[in-house]
Chains A and B, each alone.
Chain A
Amino acid sequence: MERAVTSGARIGDRPRPKKNYLNETRGFKSWALTVDHKRIGIMYLVGTLCAFLLGGVFALLVRLTLLTPAHKIFGLQVTAETYNRFFTLHGAVMVFLFIIPSIPGSLTNFVLPLMLGAKDVAFPRLNLASFYLWIVGAVMAVSSMIIGAVDTGWTFYTPYSTTTSGTVTLMTAAVFVLGFSSIFTGLNFIATVHKLRAPGMGWFDMPLFVWGMYSTALIQVLATPVLGITLVLLMLERVFQIGIFDSRIGGDPVLFQHFFWFYSHPAVYIMILPGMAIISELIPTFSRKTIFGYRAIAYASVSLALVSFIVWGHHMFVAGQSQLATVVFSALTFLVAIPSGVKVFNWLCTMYQGNISLETPMLYAISFLMLFAIGGLTGIFLGTLSTDVHLTDTYFVVAHFHYVMMGSTVTAFIGGLYYWWPKMTGRMYSEKWGQVSAVIWFIGFNATFLPQFILGSRGMPRRYYNYLDQFQPLHVFSTVGSWIIGLSLFMSAAVLLASLRKPADAPDNPWGGTTLEWQTSSPPITHNFEDQPVLENEPYDYRPKAVTH
């Protein structure tokens, strides 16, 4: 397949609209008070990428500390408390400020209404409110870091979190606000998918990206309120000592963990489902082949969301939970792996005998397949009771969740960013340098986290700032890997930002995609479509069509 003609190629040979969503109105107020989902998506993109940078800085500090067992950075001593703050803030920023809001807020906000042939999401003003809640939560979180910082781990386990000094209350309040931002986004997407599909688009005509984001939204609406009440209880326990979580005043610390993980396990599916949703778009497009098992992937997405609610106890195997509950949760955890496996096999079968082209988004998608396979399988090791007893709270766990959160979700996010970049900005990036950054990403990521599986299985505990000398070579390897990751991200940023210096003349459909967002101009006009799109084909129909020019 040769790539579609670049400069000036428009569907139906219509003239490129002079006004698009970027330049139709100008000025700070037109962005600050916008209800256009595309502009809100761009603002979310900038915000969450800044959060990614902040979380990344904390990550680099963690890895720098671990270069030697003497916990020093450039000769300066890192105290235990400081190190606790490094990994706590790395986790909290990455989880609550970046990974949960990023794909839904940025890419999905931009692309979902276009894919459905709609003019906007169901509740545009609520969309803007979600964004401003994110801003408020971010300001509160950063303030809490500046005022006193938190050292409890991002999981805020009691009784340490209810008794430690530090700005726990402010940080939990920030997360509470961010939770509502997430709820409103999910609420908006559910309503949009139910009610705003184009004429002729039934549920099984929707792109699989929409199925993935719908499943994500289900979790956002059902699970996040429980996080809200957990944080309220935590704050009240801290301030009033009500006696629910602290055993010294009659509470049950394991109860906190139940409350916390009832949200936080489904939350990790809020993180992975959008990544999978992106991959379901990238693979058929760059294999020029219909997706294998459309319905299976659709059902797998929803069942993943629903089953994610009954496995949270696998974070608490050694916490003091009853043996019966432990066994039940372990058995259910094996269940939750099945839909993920179905999806991976279906993506592979899609690629098989496809006409594969290795543009940058596809390179990230292929990386995803490999990294998610490792991340998912290691999750099964951790779900198995006999192995988890040894691996829990070691670097094995750290490596597992980085393979799924970073190796899978962030990989997919970057791939999706490259994929929809021409649509969002109207510019094509430099393909060669994009591909280089993708390869460096894969190398850097594995260099950082593969050694951590070994470290964990040999006994290196997580959240420790010193270690036995025998672990040092692997730690050094991992830290150097983190620099390679940094290099790749810097390159991607440079590639994408450099493209903005070119004029906005990208084709409507540079990749030959079949979903509706490619039927409008790049960038789209403010109202998305010049004419109301009507769906005529099955999803991902790559059968050869008569060419009309």
Chain B
Amino acid sequence: MSTETHTHAEGAKHHGGPLIYTANLFALMFLTVVTVAAASFNFGSANVVIALAIASVKAILVGLFFMHLLWDKPVNAIILIAGFLFLGIFLMFDFLDVTSRNNYLPRNMPNMENATPAPDSMNPLKTPAPRPLDPAPAKAEEHK
């Protein structure tokens, strides 16, 4: 085989190695035990946060050591972080929308009985006749 050993094999000898990989594996398995144990306690709304925090530590360990990001050129790590960053943007804005919606239930709607009916845009010169408000729907589906 070719004897081009000076490009990356030299670098590989200095980076990583079975010892570090095995240590990393034990760290990851330990964190798995921790996260399963933590799940048996109820921290309320912090449950998800704690679980995701531990998962993120595990992900960082996999990225830094197994995927060599600690020893690679920084551009690779920047690419990975960018991916999570934009995913986070997607998640953040969607949650912003979903959690700040006012769900209009009939009993929350303003009383429209005496309001002026909207003009008919297809016949602007015609005075619209007032309409009675439709009766409230029979079944109200409760969405929290």
Task: From the candidates B82, B96, B121, name the one contacting A322 in the complex (CB within 8 A).
Answer: B96
Q: Mark B81-103, 1 if CB is under 8 A from A, else 0.
A: 01100100110011011111110
Q: Which of chain A's residues 453-470 have a Cβ closer than 8 Å to chain B?
A: 459, 468
**Does B136 sit at the interface, judged by CB under 8 A?**
no
Q: Shortest Cβ distance from A285 into chain B, in angstroms?
A: 32
Given contacts A194-B75, A322-B102, A468-B122, contact A309 B86 (CB under 8 A): yes
**Does A255 sit at the interface, judged by CB under 8 A?**
yes
Given contacts A222-B82, A459-B121, contact A322 B97 (CB under 8 A): yes
- Residue on A nearest B143 in the bound complex, by CB: A250
Task: From the candidates B82, B97, B102, name the one contacting A313 in the complex (CB within 8 A).
Answer: B97
B97–A325 CB distance below 8 A: yes
B97–A258 CB distance below 8 A: yes
A310–B96 CB distance below 8 A: no
Q: Which residues of A contact B93 (CB under 8 A)?
A: 258, 310, 312-313, 325, 328-329
Q: How many residues on the A side are at the interface (Cβ–Cβ under 8 A)?
A: 23
Given contacts A258-B94, A309-B86, contact A323 B100 (CB under 8 A): yes
CA distance A329 to B93 in the complex (A): 9
A222–B97 CB distance below 8 A: no
**Does A145 sit at the interface, judged by CB under 8 A?**
no
**Does A254 sit at the interface, judged by CB under 8 A?**
yes
Q: Which residues of A contact B82 (CB under 8 A)?
A: 222
- Residue on B nearest A223 in the bound complex, by CB: B86
- Residue on A nearest B122 in the bound complex, by CB: A468
- Residue on B nearest A320 in the bound complex, by CB: B101
Q: Which residues of A contact B75 (CB under 8 A)?
A: 194
A324–B86 CB distance below 8 A: no
CA distance A221 to B121 in the complex (A): 45
**Does A489 sit at the interface, judged by CB under 8 A?**
no
CA distance A92 to B97 in the complex (A): 28
CA distance A459 to B124 in the complex (A): 12
CA distance A506 to B36 in the complex (A): 71
With most chain A CB atoms within 10 A of its CB, the pick from B83, B93, B97 is B97
A324–B90 CB distance below 8 A: no
A309–B89 CB distance below 8 A: yes
Question: Chain A interface mostly helix, strand, loop or mixed?
Answer: helix
Q: Which residues of A contact B94 (CB under 8 A)?
A: 255, 258
**Does A321 sit at the interface, judged by CB under 8 A?**
yes
Q: Which residues of A contact B96 (CB under 8 A)?
A: 322, 324-325, 328
Q: Shortest Cβ distance from A40 into chain B, in angstroms?
A: 25
Q: Which of chain B's residues 106-122 have a Cβ closer than 8 Å to chain A?
A: 121-122
Task: From the candidates B86, B90, B100, name the one contacting A325 in the complex (CB within 8 A).
Answer: B100
A222–B100 CB distance below 8 A: no
CA distance A262 to B90 in the complex (A): 7
CA distance A264 to B19 in the complex (A): 47
Q: Mark B122-137, 1 if CB is under 8 A from A, else 0.
A: 1000000000000000
CA distance A313 to B96 in the complex (A): 11
Q: Mark B48-82, 1 if CB is under 8 A from A, else 0.
A: 00000000000000000000000000010000001
CA distance A322 to B102 in the complex (A): 7
CA distance A194 to B78 in the complex (A): 13
CA distance A328 to B89 in the complex (A): 13
Task: From the candidates B89, B97, B102, name the one contacting A310 in the complex (CB within 8 A).
Answer: B89
B122–A321 CB distance below 8 A: no
Q: Shortest Cβ distance from B9 into chain A, in angstroms?
A: 20
- Residue on B nearest A310 in the bound complex, by CB: B89
Q: Shortest Cβ distance from B101 into chain A, in angstroms?
A: 4
Q: Shortest Cβ distance from A228 into chain B, in angstroms?
A: 13
B97–A321 CB distance below 8 A: yes
- Residue on A nearest B75 in the bound complex, by CB: A194
Q: Which residues of B contact A374 (CB under 8 A)?
A: none
**Does A226 sit at the interface, judged by CB under 8 A?**
yes
- Residue on B nearest A266 in the bound complex, by CB: B86
Q: Shortest Cβ distance from A448 into chain B, in angstroms?
A: 26
- Residue on A nearest B101 in the bound complex, by CB: A322
- Residue on A nearest B90 in the bound complex, by CB: A262
Q: Mark A441-459, 1 if CB is under 8 A from B, else 0.
A: 0000000000000000001
Q: Which residues of B contact A262 (CB under 8 A)?
A: 90
Q: Which residues of B contact A323 (CB under 8 A)?
A: 100, 102
Q: Which residues of B contact A322 (CB under 8 A)?
A: 96-102
Q: Shortest Cβ distance from B94 into chain A, in angstroms?
A: 5
Q: Which residues of B contact A258 (CB under 8 A)?
A: 93-94, 97
Q: Shortest Cβ distance from B120 into chain A, in angstroms?
A: 12
Q: Which residues of A contact B121 (CB under 8 A)?
A: 459
- Residue on B nearest A250 in the bound complex, by CB: B143
Q: Mark A338-361, 1 if CB is under 8 A from B, else 0.
A: 000000000000000000000000
Q: Shortest Cβ distance from B121 into chain A, in angstroms?
A: 7
Q: Shortest Cβ distance from B97 into chain A, in angstroms?
A: 4
Q: Shortest Cβ distance from B104 into chain A, in angstroms?
A: 10
Q: Which residues of A contact B98 (CB under 8 A)?
A: 252, 255, 322
CA distance A262 to B96 in the complex (A): 14
- Residue on B nearest A316 in the bound complex, by CB: B97
Q: Which of chain A's residues 222-252 have a Cβ closer than 8 Å to chain B?
A: 222-223, 226, 252
Q: Which residues of A contact B100 (CB under 8 A)?
A: 322-325
CA distance A321 to B83 in the complex (A): 25
CA distance A226 to B89 in the complex (A): 12
Q: Which of chain A's residues 189-235 have a Cβ closer than 8 Å to chain B?
A: 194, 222-223, 226
Q: Which residues of B contact A255 (CB under 8 A)?
A: 94, 98
CA distance A258 to B86 in the complex (A): 14
Q: Which residues of A contact B102 (CB under 8 A)?
A: 322-323
CA distance A459 to B120 in the complex (A): 13
Q: Shortest Cβ distance from A446 into chain B, in angstroms?
A: 29
Q: Shortest Cβ distance from B91 into chain A, in angstroms?
A: 10
CA distance A254 to B96 in the complex (A): 13
- Residue on B nearest A312 in the bound complex, by CB: B93
- Residue on B nearest A468 in the bound complex, by CB: B122
Question: Interface on B for A, CB 8 Å cutoff?
Answer: 75, 82-83, 86, 89-90, 93-94, 96-102, 121-122
**Interface CB pairs A-B, < 8 A, 17:** A222-B83, A222-B86, A252-B98, A255-B94, A255-B98, A258-B94, A262-B90, A309-B89, A310-B89, A312-B93, A313-B93, A313-B97, A322-B100, A322-B102, A324-B97, A325-B93, A325-B96
Nearest 9 interchain pairs by C-beta: A325-B97, A322-B100, A324-B100, A322-B101, A322-B97, A222-B86, A258-B94, A321-B97, A325-B96
